A and B are shown apart, each in its own frame.
Chain A
Amino acid sequence: MALDKPYLDVPGTIIFDADQSRKGYWLNQFCMSLMKAENRERFKANERAYLDEWDMTEEQKLAVLARDLNWCMRTGGNIYFLAKIGATDGKSFQQMAGSMTGMTEEEYRNMMINGGRSVEGNRFVGENGDAQAQNQPQGAAGKKVN
């Protein structure tokens, strides 16, 4: 019997289950290493060389170098592990979470001050809320890139 995954129909969300964890094992373990100050220094001094010490896929390394947290998550990263990269860069959790929405920092911060993202339209894939695939990217940051 396959793993029961009742959470696959939640839009804009990747649940960190056993399959994701297996896929992201070395990516996440690399992230853990950044909890030591000397490793943060070594990583910052030569990111690519530091990443090459880990048994990560090339795609995972590119996702980290690009600081694309959505990409990191698709390759098995978990936000609490990935947060160590953000911390190394001096970023807050709000900056990290916001970076995954396509909004600028200011847009995301304002959304939170105004009560956060509504759940309406964002419960199930196929609705039309702002987190649905058809409504990405959400803000000026994402639009600039594309």
Chain B
Amino acid sequence: MAKITASVFTSHVPAIGAAMDLGKTQEPYWQPLFAGYQYGKQWMQENKPDVIFLVFNDHATAFSLDFIPTFAIGTAEKFQPADEGWGPRPVPVVKGHPELASHIAQSVIQQDFDLTIVNKMDVDHGLTVPLSLMCGQPPAEKFEWPCPVIPFAVNVVQYPVPSGQRCFNLGKAIRKAIESYDEDINVHIWGTGGMSHQLQGARAGLINKEFDKAFLDKLINDPQAAADIPHMDYVREAGSEGIELVMWLIARGAMNDVAGGKAPTLKHRFYHVPASNTAVGHVILEN
């Protein structure tokens, strides 16, 4: 049977991708940030998954105002890196896992979550920056990501957005779905976005370290308490775009302890301000 062996949490700031694409990672501004991901890159090599289930949000890229799915699962064989206006990032095509994705869609929908099934979806920085951070830039002679990825997009752009509790419960359903897949494969579930940031208006640039650190504490040790945070607290305390943190709760809800198993092992925790407009958080938990 398939198993979720670990969850990875990370911000997905577009400027981080740009810094990697433009070879700026050793500049003084960026050096401390990338130092915080050294462990994760090493860990990825030593704990390579068969599939990554990657929770992210689309930033008005694949989904315009034509369609706004609350939860969308990518079931295609591949997903192209999107042109977000600067030209596509020079990163590999993302290969999907249609069989597992379709299995998850079936199981989760039958557990009463209304997923949108998507076969055509260019993936933006929300998905490719976490891959770059954890996998590094793939070499030209082997220009591919280390494993298939199932993109799972959450609407946090147009209100109403799903609550933290809804996301947490969805994570539990995704765990059941993955663990009922027949093949013996090792799956990582990643939650991305956040931490505190606001990209708009006179309050742009808001960072709330106290909120972020308390969120990380809860995420790791008391995820139900993190799921209880009402959405207005994210907006008021962590900035209008801090709402992205609800996506971390999907990944956290899929860990064993939430289903009565033992507490996960904290392998890594990192926090840094700033990356562009944003506070960066990163956690690795193993089941």
A-to-B contact residues, CB < 8 Å? 6-7, 10-18, 21, 25, 28-29, 31-32, 34-37, 40, 69-70, 73, 78-81, 83-84, 86-88, 90, 92-94, 96-98, 100-102, 108, 111-113, 115-119, 122-124, 131-133, 136, 138
Contacts and interface: CB of A to CB of B under 8 A. Distances in A.
29 contacts: A13-B201, A13-B203, A13-B240, A16-B157, A18-B159, A35-B61, A37-B87, A70-B202, A78-B60, A78-B157, A79-B199, A79-B241, A81-B64, A83-B59, A84-B60, A86-B85, A88-B85, A93-B14, A101-B202, A102-B202, A108-B204, A113-B274, A115-B274, A116-B274, A116-B279, A117-B205, A117-B206, A123-B237, A133-B202
Contacts of B14: 93
Q: Which one of A34, A40, A131 has the highest number of Cβ atoms from chain B below 10 Å of its Cβ?
A: A131
Nearest to A25: B65
B202 A11 contact: yes
A35 B205 CA distance: 25
Interface stretch (B48-56, B164-172, B207-215): B207-215
A25 B209 CA distance: 35
Contacts of A34: 85
Contacts of B83: 35-37
**Interface class of chain B by DSSP:** loop
Q: Which bracket fits the contact residues of B? A: 35 or more
A116 B207 contact: yes
